[in-house]
Amino acid sequence: MPPAETGKIVMERNRGTWGRNMEYNRSRRKFWTARYAVINATYFMGFCGVHAYASIFMLERGFTNSRIGLLLALANVFSVVMQPIIAGLIDRPGKLTNQKAASFCTAAVIVLSLALSFVEKEKAAIFIIFMLIYMIQMAYQPIIIAMNFEYAEKGCSINFGLARGLGSVGFAVYSPILGTLLEHHSVSVIHIGDALVLTVGLLFLLTFKLSDKSEVPALLDEEKAKGEGTEKRAADHEQEQAAHNNFFDFAKHYPAFMLFLLSTILVFFAHNMINDYLIQIIKPLGGTERHVGYATSMAAVIELPTMALFAGMVKKISCEKLLVVSTVFFTVKVAILFLATGIAGVFASQFCQLAAYALFIPASAYYASMVMERADQVKGQAYVNCAITLSGTFSGLICGRILDVAGPKVMLGCGVTASFLGAVLAVAAVRKRGNR
């Protein structure tokens, strides 16, 4: 056979192989996204019960605002310690995978939630159990995010923005349900409900794993050859990348990222403050527990369009610029709440979620994945969540005390200042990386 004809045959075979691969990927994309969306939805439904209704639960159990602040601060501190440790274990080659770690954490929260629902008067036990639930839930959030990028590398295409947005929908649907149930039942219903929804999530997590066979059909021989070369280069850098397990080495290697983390702490100081003490903010404006449910539900629903469309947005605008935009809207949100004179102002502030939290979460996930080396992928996601968690520590300690001494208006004023400084640092972080 003439060489030209042979070449044509090879080209046609290659086109056919790639065509089958692309078709296969498209058919599996919806499958993986749907399952990942359920995991996100159930996680954030459980997250809603613990975080959005933390103050309501603890006040009903006889805790003061200062004690609630101390509880949340301790939970966040322990979570900050745990997250890098778990991430370091997952980043190292071994048997502990993102899927296994997330499954174990979910199971632990289910057991603890059921235990907490039956404890009513023992404040020490309530304090410890609630702190453990709060801590664990914060600790495995970055693991769920990292699962998306891990599976994408292995051929399991997932629409992260859409799946994460549907997680917010789960939060939005669940929040008013809890608010309504609390008007007719004791606060124990919060943690019984959490245990039930997380059980569904656990079932999906346990089956959310790759088979031994590749998800993607066999690639072309030349691509395999390229892959072998890539593996060799990766092995050459393995030792250098492993050094970043040390926090100080990590910080030295990613200076712009560290500035971004500081920005995140400041911006989420106000965000966590609003989430943790929303009932205390709403009541002076004429609101009730039912309005807490409506407000949190509204914010969560508004997040979906942004998150669902994020994949298209990031192709036109860099995730760094989108992060800066999100920090500005975080500031606007708390400023509107600070100026509010009635419950309408609370709902108006929630519309800022469209370009605040909804933009920040997928943008920060993409940003961390983009700037991190392969061996630091999970740690990058963990440190972002650590920054958010650490802000909760400061928010819990400081804002609980401010509420008891000066009231919600002064607390919100502090939130406006912190968010503004966070936005300024976000701009500085983007410029620093650009200059580098």
Give the residue, 302 or 427, on which the prediction is more confident.
427
Token reading at 331:
């500031």
Q: Is the pTM of this model over 0.75?
A: no
115-119, 201-205, 215-219, 244-248: which range is least confident on average?
215-219
Tens of pLDDT, residue by residue over 334-389, are: 999 999 888 888 888 988 888 898 889 888 888 887 877 777 767 777 788 788 87
**Section 180-198 average pLDDT:** 84
Tokens 């400023």 sit at which residue? 335
**Section 194-218 average pLDDT:** 74
Give the residue, 227 or 403, on which the prediction is more confident.
403
DSSP assignment, residue 285?
G
**Residue 435: per-residue pLDDT:** 54
Residue 354 amino acid letter: L
Tens of pLDDT, residue by residue over 101-112, are: 889 999 999 999
Distance, CA of 280 to CA of 81 (rounded, Å) = 29
Distance, CA of 18 to CA of 216 (rounded, Å) = 11
**Residue 48: per-residue pLDDT:** 83
**Section 285-308 average pLDDT:** 79
Confidence of residue 265 (pLDDT cuts 50, 70, 90): very high
**Section 141-146 average pLDDT:** 80
**What percentage of the chain has pLDDT greater than the value 70?**
81
**Section 271-282 average pLDDT:** 84
pLDDT at residue 333 greater than cutoff 90: yes
What does the domain layout of the chain look like in residue ranges? 30-209+247-435
Tens of pLDDT, residue by residue over 159-183, are: 877 887 788 788 878 888 887 888 7
Confidence of residue 433 (pLDDT cuts 50, 70, 90): low
Q: 427 near 324, Cβ under 8 Å? A: yes
Within 8 A by CB and 6+ apart from 335, the residues are 416, 419
Helical H runs in 48-64? 54-60
Helical H runs in 92-220? 98-117, 123-139, 141-153, 160-182, 188-207
pLDDT at residue 331 greater than cutoff 60: yes
**Average pLDDT of the chain, as a whole number:** 78
Confidence of residue 22 (pLDDT cuts 50, 70, 90): very low
**Section 305-333 average pLDDT:** 87
Within 8 A by CB and 6+ apart from 418, the residues are 266, 267, 269, 270
Give the residue, 238 or 427, on which the prediction is more confident.
427
**How many CB atoms within 10 Å of residue 341?**
8
Confidence of residue 94 (pLDDT cuts 50, 70, 90): low
Confidence of residue 3 (pLDDT cuts 50, 70, 90): very low
R_g over Cα of the chain: 23
CA distances from 8 to 4, 15, 54, 164 (A): 6, 10, 66, 44
**Residue 233: per-residue pLDDT:** 44
Distance, CA of 190 to CA of 124 (rounded, Å) = 19
30-209+247-435: CATH homologous superfamily?
Answer: MFS general substrate transporter like domains (1.20.1250.20)
Report DSSP letters for 242-255, one per residue: HGGGSHHHHHHH-H
